[in-house]
Amino acid sequence: MLLLQAVLLLLALPNSETVTEDSEVLLSPPKEGCAGWMAGVPGYPGHNGTPGRDGRDGTPGEKGEKGEPGVIGPKGDTGNGAGIEGPRGFPGNPGRKGEPGEGAYVYRSAFSVGLDARVTIPNVPIRFTKIFYNQQNHYDGSTGKFHCNIPGLYYFSYHITVYLKDVKLSLFKNDKAVLFTYDQYQDKNVDQASGSVLLHLAVGDQVWLQVYGDGENNGLYADNINDSTFTGFLLYHDTDGSQ
């Protein structure tokens, strides 16, 4: 406030007054010495200026510390389609050795028989009474028939010595001839006749050999140096009932 009063006083002095060494210096009376001194009226506040322009962006600050993990969101829906197949992995370690399994049951059925003497009765099963092998007793020497106890595929064969007469021989399955052999005897000679066949048999089926025709075709023969034989055995048993 005192500064403003001093400025006003200087403005009120006459411009023609000059101070020299010879002239008398006129000084304004001090403010504090004037009893009638009064301050000027304060001026009105000026208008606000227009807003300044936006300042420039400051330099980026330092990277802050990592924040705490957020709350886990809900599980999303299952995607459509399979993803791309990944690379093949390395082979795994071998597993432990398994426990020993139960041994497979071996089905056995076999026989091999021969004649003891010459056969003279035609059209009936030939009774081969010389037993080479019949451990399962599936061949009945009293009837000359093989009885099937295990369903499956069987192999049958026969080897016949022919002497004095022709031979007409057939292999039967359940009263039906399935294989035929005919041999014409050569005078003063010993001939051989043979045959073989594969047959599928069910439990209860029977197989045998017999001479067919009249007695003139019954030249089967056997002695201590010539045999007539009949053989059969199971190749494999049925597992699913198929033939």
Per-residue pLDDT of the chain (243 residues; tens, 9 = 90+): 666 666 676 666 555 444 444 444 445 555 555 555 567 788 888 888 888 888 888 888 888 888 888 888 888 887 777 778 888 888 888 888 887 765 678 899 999 999 988 776 788 899 999 999 999 999 999 999 999 999 999 999 999 988 888 888 899 999 899 999 888 877 778 888 899 999 999 999 999 999 887 767 777 888 888 889 999 999 999 986 555
> How many CB atoms are closer than 10 A to CB 78?
5
Token code pair at residue 121? 């009765």
Residue 74 CA to residue 94 CA, distance in Å, equals 41
Single-letter residue type at 113: V
Q: Which residue has the tokens 């050795």?
A: 97
Token code pair at residue 111? 């026989």
Beta bridge partners of residue 164, listed in sequence order: none
Q: Report the b/e string of 23-51 with b at 16+ CB within 10 A.
A: eeeeeeeeeeeeeeeeeeeeeeeeeeeee
pTM, 2 dp: 0.56
For 93, residues 6+ apart whose C-beta sits below 8 A from its C-beta are none
Distances in Å between the Cα of 154 and the Cα atoms of 149, 172, 217, 239 are 12, 14, 28, 15
Residue 199 is predicted with a pLDDT of: 97
Contact criterion met (CB below 8 Å) for 181 and 172: no
Residue 13 CA to residue 209 CA, distance in Å, equals 171
